[in-house]
């Protein structure tokens, strides 16, 4: 599994978790890969909660083109930190995302926590 920052985030810290295996559907992954995927999602959630003090998380996947998958042949999950009142008129009416942190700063902030996963 690998974790990457979303290039077009909905919120600061918006991550994606994906298997190395090329698979379009969850049932295309073997049991070990599905288990590892869930473990990496849980670790990512824990890191985001600790790093960003978010009040909640959205975790989800768009599986298949009809579901909105940008990479329809390679499944991935989104993990998005959320706070009460974080969706304002810019997003809901103006269809514009306002992210308070540059993606490079987000990377620098999260890297130490993810680098430490090898020790777990």
Please identify every residue annotated as catalytic. Answer: 76
Task: Return the half-sphere exposure (C-beta side, CA atoms, 13 A cut-off) of residue 110.
Answer: 24
What are the contacts of 87-95 at 24+ separation with CB within 8 A? 91/10
- The CA dihedral of 45, 19, 62, 98, to the nearest 10 degrees, is 50
Instruction: Give yes or no for a contact between 60 and 66, defined as CB atoms under 8 angstroms apart.
Output: no
For 107, the 3-state DSSP assignment is helix
């Amino acid at each position: 599994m690998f974790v990457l920052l979303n290039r077009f985030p909905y919120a600061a810290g918006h991550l994606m978790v994906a298997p190395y295996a090329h698979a379009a559907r969850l049932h295309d992954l073997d049991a070990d890969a599905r288990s590892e995927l869930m473990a990496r999602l849980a670790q990512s959630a824990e890191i985001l909660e600790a790093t960003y003090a978010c009040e909640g998380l959205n975790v989800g996947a768009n599986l298949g083109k009809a579901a909105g998958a940008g990479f329809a042949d390679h499944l991935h999950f989104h993990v998005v930190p959320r706070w009460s009142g974080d969706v304002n008129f810019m997003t809901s009416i103006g269809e514009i995302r306002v992210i308070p942190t540059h993606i490079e700063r987000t990377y620098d902030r999260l890297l130490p926590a993810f680098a430490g996963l090898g020790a777990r």
